[in-house]
Amino acid sequence: MSARILDGNALSATVRGRLAERAAALQSRGVTPCLAVILVGEDPASAVYVRNKVAGCEKTGMRSLKDSYPADVDPAVVFARIAELNADPTVHGILVQLPLPRQFDSDAVLEAIAPEKDVDGFHAENVGALMQGNPRFIPCTPYGVMEMLKSQNVPLKGAEAVIVGRSNIVGKPMAMLLLAAGCTVTVCHSQTRDLAFHTRRADILVAAVGRPRMITGDMVKPGATVIDVGINRLQSGPDAGKLCGDVDFASTKDVAGLITPVPGGVGPMTITMLLANTLESAERSARETKK
Ligand SMILES: NC(=O)C1=CN([C@@H]2O[C@H](COP(=O)(O)OP(=O)(O)OC[C@H]3O[C@@H](n4cnc5c(N)ncnc54)[C@H](OP(=O)(O)O)[C@@H]3O)[C@@H](O)[C@H]2O)C=CC1
Ligand SMILES: Nc1nc(=O)c2c([nH]1)NC[C@@H]1CN(c3ccc(C(=O)N[C@@H](CCC(=O)O)C(=O)O)cc3)C=[N+]21
C-alpha cells in the first residue's frame, strides 16, 4: 500500500484564501496588516525563505517591510531598528530570520521584539504562555503541522507521537502542541539511545533534525502519519542540488499511511501560519484601538 500524500501547497492555498478575506475585511476598515522581516547576512537559503514570506504577504493583501544587513553589521544597528518597529503602530509582526551571525546574542534579539508583535512566537513570554496552555502566537512551523494533521482528521487523543529534534523553533513547541492535543509525546535527540525503537512506536512521527533522509522506512510503523520538517539541500550524489527532507521518502512512502513531501509539505504551511499570525496580530490591534 502506498501512503496518502499530504500536500502542503494545496492546504496553504485553501488557508491563504481565508486569510485574504480577513485581510480584505481589515483593509476596508483602513488597516493593512504588515509584517517586518529582518535578514542579516547573505545565506542563500535564508534569502529564499524571506522572499517567500514577502511574496506570501503581497498575495494575501498584506504589507511587508524588509531590512537586509551585511553579516558584519553592528548588533546595535539591528536593536535600534527593532525598537523603531516596536514603536510603529502600522507594523503588526516582526520576524528576525535565524540563524544570526556569531556577534549576535540571538536570545537577546528575540527578547527585544515586543511580545505582541512576535509572530514567530519565540519571545520568552510567548514561549511561557504556550507552555501554560494559553498561547499568544503559536510558532509557525509546529502550527502548520497541527493544521496539516487537522486537515486530515488524524486522531490525536491518546496517539503516540514521536518527535525527532528538540530545538526551540521546531521540536520543543511541537511537543507542547501535540501534548496539549492529547498525544503521548516522546522527544528524541542526538543523545537518544536506539532511535528506531522510539520511531517504530509512533502513530505520528515528526522529523525535525536537519539530516537528509535519516528516517528510513524500516524505522516507521505501518500506517503511521509521517511529518517531514527537514529542509536539506543535497551536496553530492545523483540528486545534488535538490531539496530533500529528513525522511527517506522512497522507502517510507510504502510503509506510512500519510506522509508530507519535501518540498511542498511543511515549508509552505510555515509561511502560511506566519501570515495567519500577522493577520491575527493586526486584528487584535484594530480591536484595541477601537476600544
Ligand atoms: N519546513 C520548515 O518550515 C522548517 C524547516 N526546518 C528544517 O528542519 C530541520 C530541523 O531544524 P531545527 O529544529 O532548526 O534544527 P536544529 O539543528 O536546531 O535541531 C536539530 C535537532 O536534531 C537533533 N539531532 C541531530 N542529530 C540527530 C541524530 N542523529 N539523531 C537524533 N536527533 C538528532 C539535535 O539534537 P541535540 O539537541 O541533541 O543536538 C537537535 O535537537 C532542518 O532541516 C531545518 O532546515 C526548520 C524550521 C522550519
Ligand atoms: N525567525 C525565523 N522564523 C522561521 O520560521 C524560520 C527561521 N527564522 N529560519 C529558518 C527556518 C526555515 N523556515 C522555512 C520556511 C519556509 C520554507 C519553504 O517555503 N520551503 C519550500 C521550498 C523552499 C525552497 O525552494 O528552498 C518547501 O518546502 O516547499 C522552508 C523553511 C523558516 N524558518
Which pLDDT value is given to residue 290?
Answer: 74
Proximal ligand: closest to the CA of 232: 1
Q: Residue 55 phi/psi, 5° resolution?
A: -65, -40
User: Does 113 count as an annotated binding residue?
Assistant: no
Q: How is 45-105 classified by DSSP, letter by letter?
A: HHHHHHHHHHHHHHHTT-EEEEEEE-TT--HHHHHHHHHHHHH-TT--EEEEPSSPPTTS-
Residue 10 lies in a domain: no
Q: What is the CATH number of the domain that holds 97?
A: 3.40.50.10860
Asked if residue 34 has its Cβ within 6 Å of ligand 1, the reply is: no
Which pLDDT value is given to residue 288?
Answer: 87
Asked if residue 195 has its Cβ within 6 Å of ligand 1, the reply is: yes
Residue 248 bears catalytic tag: no
Q: Do 63 and 173 lie in a common domain?
A: no
Residues 45/39, Cβ–Cβ less than 8 Å: no
Which pLDDT value is given to residue 289?
Answer: 83
Residue 216 lies in a domain: yes
Residues 31/286, Cβ–Cβ less than 8 Å: yes
Asked if the model's pLDDT at residue 272 lies above 80, the reply is yes
Task: Measure the CA dihedral 106/112/113/114, to 10°.
Answer: 150
Q: Do 98 and 170 lie in a common domain?
A: no
Catalytic hit among 117, 118, 120, 172: 120
Q: How is 105-152 classified by DSSP, letter by letter?
A: -HHHHHHHS-GGG-TT--SHHHHHHHHTT--SS--HHHHHHHHHHHHT
Asked if residue 138 has its Cβ within 6 Å of ligand 2, the reply is: no
Asked if residue 45 has its Cβ within 6 Å of ligand 1, the reply is: no
Q: Residue 183 phi/psi, 5° resolution?
A: -80, 155
Asked if the model's pLDDT at residue 282 lies above 80, the reply is yes
pLDDT, tens digit, 9 for 90 and up, residues 4-43: 999 999 999 999 999 999 999 999 999 999 999 999 998 8
Q: Residue 183: give the domain boundaries.
A: 140-267
199-223: average pLDDT: 98
Q: Do 144 and 258 lie in a common domain?
A: yes
Cα–Cα nearest to 213, from 238, 192, 191, 193: 238
Cα–Cα nearest to 112, from 122, 102, 101: 122
Proximal ligand: closest to the CA of 175: 1
Residue 163 lies in a domain: yes
Residue 157 CA: distances (Å) to CA of 4, 153, 256: 21, 11, 19
Which pLDDT value is given to residue 44?
Answer: 86
Residue 59 bears catalytic tag: no
Proximal ligand: closest to the CA of 106: 2
Which pLDDT value is given to residue 53?
Answer: 93
3 state SS of 9: helix
Instruction: Name the pLDDT band for 83 (thresholds 50, 70, 90).
Output: very high
Instruction: Name the pLDDT band for 291 (thresholds 50, 70, 90).
Output: low
Burial status of residue 41 (CB atoms within 10 A of its CB: 0-12, 13-18, 19 or more): middle
Q: What is the CATH number of the domain that holds 167?
A: 3.40.50.720
CB atoms within 10 A of CB 254: 13
For residue 274, give the ligand 2 atom closest to its CA.
Answer: 5
Q: Do 157 and 110 lie in a common domain?
A: no
Q: Do 162 and 239 lie in a common domain?
A: yes
259-278: average pLDDT: 98
Better-scored residue on pLDDT, 56 or 289: 56
**Residues whose CB falls within 8 Å of the CB of residue 263, separated by 6 or more in sequence, listed in order:** 231, 243
Looking at the 3D structure of the chain, how many domains does it have? 2
Q: Do 85 and 196 lie in a common domain?
A: no
Q: Which residue do the cell numbers 512512502 mark?
A: 253
Report the complex ipTM. 0.98
Residue 239 bears catalytic tag: no
Residue 24 lies in a domain: no
Residues 210/246, Cβ–Cβ less than 8 Å: yes
Asked if residue 232 has its Cβ within 6 Å of ligand 2, the reply is: no
Residue 218 lies in a domain: yes
Q: Do 156 and 99 lie in a common domain?
A: no
CA 31 to ligand 1 centroid distance, Å:
37
Give the chain's mean pLDDT: 96
CA 154 to ligand 1 centroid distance, Å:
24
Residue 143 and residue 163: Cα distance in Å, rounded? 14
Asked if residue 278 has its Cβ within 6 Å of ligand 1, the reply is: no
pLDDT, tens digit, 9 for 90 and up, residues 114-142: 999 999 999 999 999 999 999 999 999 99
